[in-house]
Amino acid sequence: ANSAEFDPYTTDPVINLLPEQQEVVDLGGTMRLGLYPCRVLPDTLAFKLYQEDVIYERHRHRYEFNNAYRDLLLKSGYVISGTSPDGRLVEIVEFTKHPFFLACQFHPEFQSCPSTPHPLFKGFIQTAIALSLSTSSTPTPLEVS
């Protein structure tokens, strides 16, 4: 598995150009750039972190998750916890068998400051602290507030 951005000849482009951009030669203005809505699935780590049904995150890319791999991803134990409002674009993926595995398509660093950390960074640090303090059992994400 690879990204077509890094290896245009990969046999498994899990990250790829959207189908409507496959034949585009002049790439100017084709990037997904700026603030976009993301629908967050209830009962997920993403929802616990954001406490919102819809969030708005900043993007700067033209490559997306390739939906041809969507069923395989879901069958492998991953959860798609955030999508575009129409459900077409994958925004957030989680692996629930890990204390804190969350991957996002957007750039959370664009909305994070030392005094007001982004919810994903804050949750990651909280989970790391909880794991480092744990001696007998593995805490679930966000046990430390």
Per-residue pLDDT of the chain (145 residues; tens, 9 = 90+): 999 999 999 999 999 987 666 666 566 566 778 899 999 999 999 999 999 999 999 998 888 999 999 999 999 999 999 999 999 999 999 999 999 999 999 999 988 888 999 999 999 999 999 998 885 565 566 654 4
How far apart CA 106 and CA 33 sit, in angstroms, is 10
Roughly how many angstroms between the first and final C-alpha of the chain, as a whole number? 36
Q: What is the pLDDT of residue 76?
A: 96
Is 120 domain-assigned? no
Between CA 93 and CA 109 the distance in angstroms is 17
At 85 the three-state DSSP class reads: coil
* CATH code for the domain of 52: 3.40.50.880
89: in domain: yes
CA distance 145 to 142: 6
Instruction: Using CB atoms within 10 Å of the CB of residue 35, give its burial: 0 to 12 exposed, 13 to 18 middle, 19+ buried.
Output: exposed
Residue 49 is assigned to a structural domain of this protein: yes
- Asked if the structure places residue 124 within a domain, the reply is no
Domain count, the chain: 1
SS3 for 19-70 is: HHHCCCCCCCCCCEEEEEEEEECCCCHHHHHHCCCEEEEEEEECEEECHHHH
Q: Which helix (H) or strand (E) holds 103?
A: strand 102-104
Would you say residue 142 lies in a domain?
Answer: no
Domain carrying residue 36: 2-115
Tokens of 108: 């959370």
Any domain includes 100: yes
Has residue 62 been placed in a domain?
A: yes
Residue 21 counted as domain residue:
yes
The pLDDT value given to residue 61: 82
